[in-house]
């Protein structure tokens, strides 16, 4: 879960600082086939680098979000499903706003609390996602465990697809052909392993900009 910290600012600014906080985990021993070129157990530098990369991606997805295009697909019409996500922004390596607040190792796993302090422009983007315009949605996704670290990102993308699909089912009377819009993470995704697959569960804030219906003749 992402926690929000509000730090009181100096009188010279009218806005309080916004700090996002989340807990992340990296496995020091492999949970799948060894990744090519990555020695296990992970050394400290590699483990922390992975943590910071994941934290940066999660915080960026919370602040900026993604654009999505989703062609729902329908077997009866011979239309295959297609889903793409494109990030609206990123947190670059070495960003001064990102820091590790606490860390501990347990059962060959490194657990880290990471924090990210938003600047004014980022705060405006984050506030837009937290406005009343965004709908809340939840999804669960999966990806092959053999894909390693990449599989976690694929499972999260699949969870986003599932969240959008679930919301469209609730709001659209007829099955739409495609939908476009944006979504952002509402909290840190939860990951686990089940029957050889990465599993991801996440909550999103979702804005559907366009829904295209099938034409009937």
Which residue in the block uniquely carries the two structure tokens 């499903």?
81
pLDDT in tens, 71-104: 987 767 677 889 999 999 999 999 999 999 999 9
Classified as helix, coil or strand, 208 is strand
Helix (H, G, I), strand (E, B) or coil at 182: strand
The pTM of the full predicted model, rounded to 2 decimals, is 0.85
Confidence of residue 214 (pLDDT cuts 50, 70, 90): confident
């Amino acid at each position: 879960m992402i926690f929000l910290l509000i730090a009181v600012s100096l009188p010279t600014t009218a806005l309080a600082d916004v700090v996002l906080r989340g807990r992340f985990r990296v496995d020091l021993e492999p949970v799948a086939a060894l990744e090519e070129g990555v020695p296990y157990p992970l050394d400290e530098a590699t483990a922390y680098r992975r943590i910071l990369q994941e934290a940066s991606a999660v915080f960026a997805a919370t602040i900026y979000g993604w654009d999505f295009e989703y062609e729902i697909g329908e077997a009866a019409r011979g239309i295959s499903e297609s889903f793409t996500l494109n990030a609206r922004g990123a947190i670059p390596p070495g960003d001064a706003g990102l820091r590790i607040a606490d860390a501990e190792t347990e059962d060959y796993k490194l657990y880290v609390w990471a924090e990210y302090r938003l600047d004014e422009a980022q705060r405006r983007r984050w506030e837009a996602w937290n406005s009343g315009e965004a709908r809340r949605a939840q999804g669960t996704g999966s990806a092959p465990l053999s894909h390693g670290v990449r599989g976690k990102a694929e499972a999260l993308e699949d969870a986003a697809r599932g969240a959008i699909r679930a919301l469209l089912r609730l709001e659209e009377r007829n099955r739409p052909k495609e939908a476009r819009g944006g979504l952002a993470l509402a909290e840190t995704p939860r990951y686990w392993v089940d029957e050889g697959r990465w599993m991801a569960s996440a909550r999103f804030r979702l804005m559907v900009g366009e829904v295209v219906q099938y034409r009937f003749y």
